[in-house]
Amino acid sequence: MGQMMRFLRLFCAITLLFVVSAQAQTALPVTIGAGERGGNYYSVGGAICRIVNQNSPYGCAVRPTGGSIDNLYALSLGDVNFAIIQADVQRAARRGIAGIPGNYSALRSVASVYPQTLTVVVRADSDIGRFVDLRGRRIAAGTIVSGAHWTFMSLWNALGLSIDDLSSLVVQRDGTSADALCSGRLDAVVMMTGHPSISLSRMGRTCPIKIVALSVTEVAAITRNNPDYRPIAVPPGLYPFVRAPVPTVATDATLVTISSVPDQYVEAVLTAILSDRRSFRQQQKVLGPVPSSHIEGALQYHRAAARFYRAYGLIR
């Protein structure tokens, strides 16, 4: 019995330690929900926190997550008070579109940090030459809580197609998808990423691959009536398998918060991003991020962000 009591006391002490540790982590003034470790979201979140921690009195930490949808859930639960999400997901959440459960009327924009580009990856010997050629194929498009899954289905539907037009839509992480693509178990991997992408570079080292270009017709059909997307191209020179611009579409990777977050935390984050853009760019991987007041598809700024941009003459 004595040994059992000592074990129970030790178990309770360890449990309390973990609870206190978790509370201490969530009690930090600035907590940013990012994506998977090693991904662009996590890299950008880390760059923001390093500058906040160096130049403000507020602590800042990054939380790894499953992606844009997962970040929305983390915000709504209070696990984080800032998050990086795609602009198309942001607009859908604010509008209450089916498929993103919850009330996000308190969601507020803070900054746009880089273009999040639709990147369709296939083996180099694949006969898939356009986006619509994915019809009848085995596709992976991120996890169910990722922006890639949401955007793929949005764009697929915009072209008048449905999930029934695919042979299969696999839900899995990019790392697992790379192995499946190279071994022939998948026909294509759909990513939403900034460039250069560490995940894409790794995939290119696993087997010969190429990025599928969207046709002029496909780009026009996707962007014509949808302000969340714009034409863009993956530039040559970033990867050995991209020798010419690859036309596609993009939305923005946006930093968001909720209306109840204190103004001083928003100001600290914006100062970190905008006061030293060179340092910010050097600390993360995506090509040429230009944090700005333009939020693709944004419906409302956080009051401190709006005041910050007006002071710098970026908005009226």
Name the 3-class secondary structure at 44.
helix
pLDDT digits (tens, 9 = 90+) for 43-76: 889 989 998 998 889 999 999 998 899 999 999 9
pLDDT digits (tens, 9 = 90+) for 82-96: 999 999 999 889 888
Q: Which residues pair with 191 in a beta bridge?
A: 119
User: Two tokens at 136?
Assistant: 């009848």
The amino acid at residue 46 is: G
Q: What is the pLDDT of residue 294?
A: 54
Using N-to-C axis directions, what is the helix angle for 216-223 and 147-158, rounded to 10°? 100
Q: What is the pLDDT of residue 184?
A: 95
Q: What is the pLDDT of residue 291?
A: 56
User: Two tokens at 314?
Assistant: 């970026």
Nearest partner of 263 among 306, 300, 299, judged by Cα: 306
d(CA 203, CA 178): 6
Domains of the chain: 2-115+252-311 (3.40.190.10), 116-251 (3.40.190.10)
The 10 Å Cβ neighbour count of residue 120 is 23
d(CA 19, CA 286): 35
Name the 3-class secondary structure at 223.
helix
Q: Give, in order, the Cα–Cα distances in Å from 194 to each of 18, 44, 60, 206.
A: 35, 11, 23, 20
Q: What is the pLDDT of residue 97?
A: 78
Name the 3-class secondary structure at 192.
strand
Signed CA dihedral, 66, 71, 74, 79: sign only:
positive
Task: Give me the residues of the chain with pLDDT under 70, please.
Answer: 1-27, 98, 174-175, 276, 282-299
Percent helix, strand and coil across the chain, each to the nearest 5: 40, 20, 35
Q: What is the pLDDT of residue 235?
A: 94
d(CA 27, CA 303): 22
Contact indicator for 100, 89 with CB cutoff of 8 Å = yes
Q: Is 131 exposed, middle or buried (0-12, 13-18, 19+ CB in 10 A)?
A: buried
